[in-house]
Copies of this chain bind each other. A is one copy, B any other.
Amino acid sequence: MSKQAAPLSLDLTAAPCCPPLAQQRVSDETAVVLAPAFKALGDPVRLRLMSMIASAEGGEVCVCDLTPAFDLTGPTISHHLRTLREAGLVDSERRGTWVYYRARPQVLRQLAALLAVEPSPPSDR
């Protein structure tokens, strides 16, 4: 694998930040910083988790509402959530017995911006 450190909670806001990928070559540094975020989304379970968290009413979900949606054990879900957290995509907070996760929209926005492409170039229609 192409190296990766994961300082246990990435601040993607610190990334050299993102003229669209298709508009200007992504630098090595930027690639190294942003790739882990895409990697984190590169698993169906995590993609769904991310979606469940990001689309949650009130902006947050209890883990207890996430786990039963999958055919996986608690530890496995916990592991995936940790991956999302370390990729800087979500934040977690314990409140009493429960742990709540919420999305970090800035990072999502940054990734979306990176993938942005012209609406539909002339050659296409």
Contact = CB atoms under 8 A, between A and B. Distances in A.
Contact of A112 (B26, B41, B115): B115
| 6 nearest A-B pairs in the assembled complex, by CB-CB distance | A39-B42, A22-B54, A112-B115, A26-B51, A31-B44, A38-B41
Interface stretch (A6-14, A92-100, A116-124): A116-124
A1 B27 CA distance: 29
A24 B27 CA distance: 33
Contacts of A118: 105
Interface in A1-58: 1-3, 21-28, 31-32, 34-36, 38-48, 50-52, 54-55
A103 interface: yes
Interface string A86-112: 000000000000000001010011011
A74 interface: no
A59 interface: yes
A47 B54 contact: no
Nearest to A113: B112
